[in-house]
Structure 1
Amino acid sequence: MTDLATKPGADEASNDGVVDPGESETTPTDGTPTGGGPDAPVYAWAPVEPEPKKRRTALWIGVGAGAAVVALVASSLVLIAPGTTVAGVSVGWMTPGAAADAIEQRLAATTVVLTGEGGDVEVTGADLGASVDARALADAAFAEHPMWNPTTWFAPVPAAPVFVDAEAATSALRAAAPELYTDPVDAVLAFDPATASYVATPAVLGTGIDVDAVRDTLQAAFAAGEERVEFEVVEADIQADTPTYVATATASRLNAMLDSAGFYIGEERTVPVDRALAASWLTVAPGERGTFEITADAGAIQPLVDGLAASVNRPVENGAVITNSSGDVLREEAAGVSGRELGDTSNVASDFAEQLATGNATFQLPATEVEPVITTLARTVEVNLSTQTASLFENGSVIGSYTISSGLPGTATPTGRFTVNAYTRMQDMGALCYNPNAVNSYCTEDVPWITWFAPDIAFHGASAFRSSLGFPQSHGCVNMWNDDAKFVYEWTATGTEVWVHY
C-alpha cells in the first residue's frame, strides 16, 4: 500500500515476536497474510489525517435570533405603537423626536385654498407662520401608546391648538390676494394756531382677510388630518398702526403741558411761557409701535433763557405786622417780599428741552432767595383826660401826642382799658340826625375818620365844628383835628389797646 513505509535499519531482535506499538501484521494486497519471520520486512502506518472540526451552525443561529429579540424589546421601549396617528399623521414605529418632525412637516405643508372673491390662490401652513407644540403631541402619543403595550396599538391622538403668526399670515395673504386689502390711515396730531391747542385727526380702518378665521380653518383641517382645505374669504378690519385713542391721549398730554408751561421758582410760575411759543419749541412725530415721539429744540428755548434774569431777580422788601402788647398779630402792615437772584443758566435750555420730551413743561429755575425781615410793631393808645391828650405808643415809645377834647361832665368819656373794634370813614352823629322827634339830642353831619373803641365812643375828626380843643366839650367821644383823627384811623388796627384815664 502506498501509505505504508519501511523502517530502515530495524533490529530483528527488537520484535521478539511482539508487535511494536504502532506496528501490526500486514496483509498483502491480495489478502495473504504476511509471515513474521526474521527476514520479513517491518512496516509502519503513515500518520492518520485529523478528523475535521464539528461545525456549530445551530448555535450561532440561536445567538443571532436572541440578539434580534433583545433589539426588538429594546426598540419597543422607545418607539410609538404601530397604527398610532396624530392629527392624521402616522407616527407608529417612530421615536417621539421623529414623530414631532413629521407632525411639524404635515402642518407646514397643509394648504389653505382661498375661495370666493379673490379666490383660487393658496397658502400653506408654513406661509402663515403656523406652529403647534409637536413635541408635546409626540411625547403624549408615546406616553399613551408605547410599542411595548399592544393594547394601545392603532389609536389616534387628538390634535393640539394651532398658532398662527399674525404678521407673517397677513403678509402672506396680502401677497396672495392683494385686491382684498385696503390700507388703514394712521391718526395724526397737529397744533391749531386758532385755538392754541393740539388736535387729533382720527385714524381710518383698513380691510383685509380675517387671520383668525384662516387659523380656525387651518386648525380644523389639521385636526381632521386633511392636507388641503378650502376657505371662503372672511373680511376683517385692519387697525391703523397709530390708532385714534393714542393720538387723542397724546393731544391731551400736550395741551396739559401748554397749560402749565413756564419757568418756576417753587410753586410760583415766575416766567409763564405762551402756548404758541411753547408749541413752536416742540416736534411731534410718529414713534415706535404706534406712539408719538416728542422732542424739543434747545436752541429755540435759549433766547427766552437769556432774558430770564430781568424777570427773576428782585431786591428784598422787608415787612411789618401790628401787634398788641401781648404780641398777637392784629394786622399785616407790609407783607414783605423775599429777594431773589437767578443762578447759573448755562444748561437751562438743554435741560428744559429734555424735560419737555418727557411731558413735563414746568421747569424749576436755579435761584437764591433772601427772606425778608418782618418787623413787629406793638401799638397802643393812651388817652389822658387830665391833660386832654392822646398819645400813640409803638414798641413802648411815643411816636406822637395829640390835643383832644373829651366829654363834658354829663356825657363824660368812660375810663378803663378798651380795644379798637370798628371803623367808619364818615357818618352823621346824634340821635336827632335819625329821629326828628328826639329830645335833648343833637345832629352833627359828616363826621370823618371814626375809630370806635367803646360803645358809642370813638376817636373822630372835629375840624368842621370845633374852633379849639384841649378841654372837655364833646358828648363823650374823643374829638381830634381831622388830620390827627385820620392818622389814628390808619395807624391803629382792630384789637389795638386803648387806655383811658385821668
Structure 2
Amino acid sequence: MTDGAPGTDGATYAWAPPEPTKRKNRSGLWIGIPAGATAVALIAASLVLIAPGASVAGVQIGGLTAGAAAQAISNRLAETAITVDSPAGAVTVTGADLGATVDAAALADKAFADNPMWKPASWFPEGTGVQVQVNADEAATALKNRAPGTYRAPVDASIAYDAGSQAYVATPAEAGEGIDVAAVTAALQSAFDAGQSSATVTASLVPVDAPVSTDEAGAAVATLNGILDSVGFYVGEERTVPVDRATAASWLTVTPDGKGDFAISADTAAIQSAVAGLPGAVDRAPVNADVIVDTGGEVIKALAEGQTGRALGDTSGVAAAFAKQLAEGNGRYALPVTETAFDTAKTERRIDVNLSTQTTTLWQNGEVYRTYTISSGAGDHATHTGNFRIGWKTPMQDMGCVPGYDYCTKDVPWVAYFNGDEGFHGTYWHNNFGTPMSHGCINMTIPQAKELYDWAYRGTEVSVHY
C-alpha cells in the first residue's frame, strides 16, 4: 500500500493488497451447449420424419417428412415412362401424360403413422404397394397424340326432330378404335409397384366407345317425345289448349354436352305468341246442366251436361315459366284460372197406370203432364201390378209371332217395356180404349205411344195399380 495510517499504539500500518478472486471455470458449460442443442434437434426431427428404409412402391421415403414423401411419390409416378409397341410403332408416355394419380398424401401420412423415426422398431419396414388411378380420357388423348395413325374417332349418338313422324329420333353411336388404355395402365402399375422408372408393353387396338352412347341419346329422345305427347296449356286434367307437336318442337333446342347429357332449352318469345291467344281459348261462361231424375232425385238422363265457367288470370309470367318447365322435361302447363260453378235444372218424371180407371198419367215435377185412356191386359193376361222402371225401348217390333205365343201382331210401334214382356206401345188394330183388350201390355193410340216413348227415358219409374 502507498497509503498508511497511524495505529493507536503509535505505529504506522500499511494495507496489504487483497488476493485476486478465483474465476469460475465455465468452459464445460460452453462446450456442452452445441451437443445439447443437437440432441434436442435430433429428437425433434425424429418426431416428424419417417423411419429409415421405408418405401412406397419402390420410392424411398425414409428420413423424409410426410409432405416431402408425398411429393416424392407423386414425382416418381409422374416421371415413370411406358414405351408402347403399337401398330404404328413405338411411342413413349409418362405417368403425367396418362393423368396417373395416387393419393400420395394419404400414403405418406400412413407411412409416418406406421413407421415414425422415433420408433426404432419400425425402421426398415417392408415396402407398401399402391393402386394407381389413370384418367382414361387423358390417357386416350395422349396415346392418340403420340400415335395418331392408331386412332379412329368414335361418332357420338345424336338427336333430331323428324317432321315426317313428328317425333324426335336418335342416330346410334359408332365406336372408334385406339390403343388399349387398360394394357398401358397395367404396365404403369407394374412398373410403379416394382420401383422401376420405365417399362415396355405391347398394346393392341381396341374399340373406343363414343362419349355419347346410343342409350343416352335414346333416354333423351324419350324425354323429348314425352313432352310432345302431352304438351299444352291445362285447366286441371283437361288439355284446354293443345300445342301441336311441330310447334312445340320449334320452341325447343337440344344441346349435347359431349359427355352424354342433352340440355333442353325453350324459346320464351316463341311461347309468348301462343300465350297471347289463350284468353279466347280458355275464357267461357258457365253452362247449366239439365237432367231428368226419379222421385228419389237420382239422375236417369242428362239432357245437357253442365260446364263450369272460367276466366284466365294473369299471364305475364306464363311464357317464361313454361319455358323453364319444358327445359325440365314437363310439357303440361297449368293455367291460372278462376272457375264459376254451374247450376243444375232437375226435372222429376214418373208414370202412373191405374188399371181401375184404365188410364196412364205422366207426372212431371209433381204435376200432371199428360193423361191417356188405355187398354190394359184382359182376363188371364191381366197386366201385373207393382213398381217398375222403363227398360228396353224399340221404335217397332213384331209381337207374338214366335212359338209359345197364341198371337202374332206385326210392326207394333213405339214399344217401351217396363216389366218383362209388358210395356207401353201404339195400337192400330182396335180403337176400344178404356177397356182391357191386350195380352198384358198397355195399349195406347200411336201418337200417345210416340209421346210417351220420347218422354220416358230408361229408368223412368212406372207404378201399376188398381
SS in 2 for 1:94: coil
State the secondary structure of the residue aligned to 1:290: coil
Query: Secondary structure at the residue paired with 1:160?
Result: coil
State whether residues 211 and 258 of structure 2, in contact with CA within 8 Å, keep that contact through their aligned partners in structure 1: no
Q: Deviations over 1:107-134 (max 9, x none)?
A: 3332223334344443333333333333
Q: 2:127 aligns with which of 152, 157, 161?
A: 157
The aligned counterpart of 1:271 is 241
In the alignment, the residues of structure 1 paired with residue 70 and residue 19 of structure 2 have an alpha-carbon distance, to the nearest angstrom, of 65
- Alignment correspondent of 1:101: 71
Please tell me whether residue 213 in structure 1 is matched to residue 179 in structure 2: no
Q: Which residue of the partner structure matches residue 488 of structure 1?
A: 452
Matches within 5 A, 1:231-250: 231-250=201-220
User: Match of 1:213, SS?
Assistant: helix
Shift in CA distance, 473/62, structure 1 to aligned 2, threshold 3 Å: closer
CA deviation profile, 1:90-120 (whole Å, cap 9, x unmatched) = 3344333333333333333322233343444
Name 2:305's counterpart in structure 1. 335
Q: Indicate the residue corresponding to 2:411 in structure 1.
A: 446
* TM-score of the superposed pair, with normalisation by structure 1: 0.77
Partner residue of 2:296 out of 326, 329, 340: 326
Q: How many pairs were matched up?
A: 463
TM-score by structure 2 length? Answer: 0.82
The structure 2 residue matched to 1:434, chosen from 402, 424, 438, is 402
Q: CA deviation at 1:305?
A: 3.9
Aligned equivalent of 2:102: 132
Do structure 1's residue 284 and structure 2's residue 216 form an aligned pair? no
Per-residue CA deviations over 1:362-387 (Å, capped at 9, x if unaligned) read: 22233444333223332222234555
Q: 1:423 to 1:144 in 2, by over 3 A?
A: closer
The alignment status of 1:316 with 2:281, answered yes or no, reads: no
How much does 1:434 deviate? 3.3
Distance 2:48 2:170 in 1: 64
Out of 125-134 and 484-493, give the one that drifted further. Answer: 125-134
Q: Partner residue of 1:37?
A: none
Separation (CA, whole Å) in 1 of partners of 2:149 and 2:384: 106
Aligned pair partner of 2:426 in 461, 466, 479? 461
1:402 corresponds to which of 372, 383, 393 = 372
Matching residue's letter, 2:321? D
Instruction: State the Cα distance separating 1:448 from its structure 2 match.
Output: 0.9
Q: Aligned partners of 2:383, 2:34: CA distance in 1, in Å?
A: 144
Counting only pairs closer than 5 Å after superposition, residues 340-379 of structure 1 correspond to structure 2 as: 340-379=310-349
Give yes or no for contact 2:352–2:462 (8 Å, CA) kept in 1: yes
Quick one: which of 440, 455, 461 aligns to 1:497?
Answer: 461
Letter in 1 for 2:214: T
Q: Contact (CA 8 Å) 2:286, 2:341: kept in 1 or not?
A: yes
Change beyond 3 A, Cα 1:115–1:327: closer
Do the aligned partners of 2:57 and 2:192 also contact (CA within 8 Å) in 1? yes
Question: Hey, what does 2:5 align to over in structure 1?
Answer: none
Q: What does residue 169 of structure 1 align with?
A: 139
Match of 1:112 in 2: 82
Using a 3 Å threshold, how does the CA distance of structure 1 residues 120 and 57 change in structure 2: closer, same or farther? farther
AA partner of residue 257 (structure 2): G
**Residues 373 and 57 of structure 1, relative CA distance in 2, 3 Å threshold:** closer
- Deviates most, 192-201 or 311-320: 311-320
The 1:479–1:291 alpha-carbon spacing in structure 2 relative to 1, beyond 3 Å, is: same
Residue from 247, 259, 267 that aligns with 1:297: 267
- Quick check: 1:87 aligned with 2:57? yes
Shift of 1:59: 7.0
**Counterpart Cα distance in 2 of 1:143 and 1:347:** 62
Contact 2:86 2:204 in 1 (8 A): no
Instruction: Supply the distance in 2 between the matched residues of 1:415 and 1:153 (Cα, whole angstroms).
Output: 114
Partners of 2:158 and 2:50 lie apart in 1 by: 58
- Cα distance in 1 between the residues matched to 2:380 and 2:70: 123
User: Aligned AA for 1:397?
Assistant: E
- Alpha-carbon shift at residue 396 of structure 1 (Å): 0.9
Give ranges in structure 1 of 5+ residues lacking alignment: 1-6, 8-15, 24-46
Matched residue type, 1:182: R
Distance 1:67 1:257, change over 3 A: closer
The CA deviation string for residues 264-314 of structure 1, in whole angstroms up to 9 with x for no partner, is 222222333322232222222223743112222334344544444454444
Contact map agreement 2:51 2:117 (CA 8 A) in 1: yes
What do the CA deviations read for 1:376-404 (whole angstroms, capped 9, x no partner)?
A: 33222223455543221112101122233
* Partners of 2:241 and 2:364 in 1: CA distance: 40
Q: Secondary structure at the match of 2:395?
A: strand
Asked if residue 196 in structure 1 is aligned to residue 161 in structure 2, the reply is: no
Equivalent residue of 2:152, what SS? coil
Deviations along 1:125-148, one digit per CA (max 9) or x if unpaired, are 333333333344444444454445
Identity of aligned residues (%): 51
Distance apart, 1:78 and its partner CA: 4.2
1:29 aligns to what?
none
How far 1:444 moved relative to its partner? Answer: 2.6
Alpha-carbon deviations, 1:46-88, whole Å to 9, x = none?
Answer: x999899798767755665555455545544544444444433
Tell me how large the CA RMSD over aligned residues is.
4.0
Matched AA of 2:218: T
Q: Contact 1:87/1:156 (CA < 8 Å) preserved in 2? A: no
Tell me what 1:183 maps to: 153
- In the alignment, the residues of structure 1 paired with residue 276 and residue 118 of structure 2 have an alpha-carbon distance, to the nearest angstrom, of 88
CA distance in 2, matches of 1:428, 1:342: 57
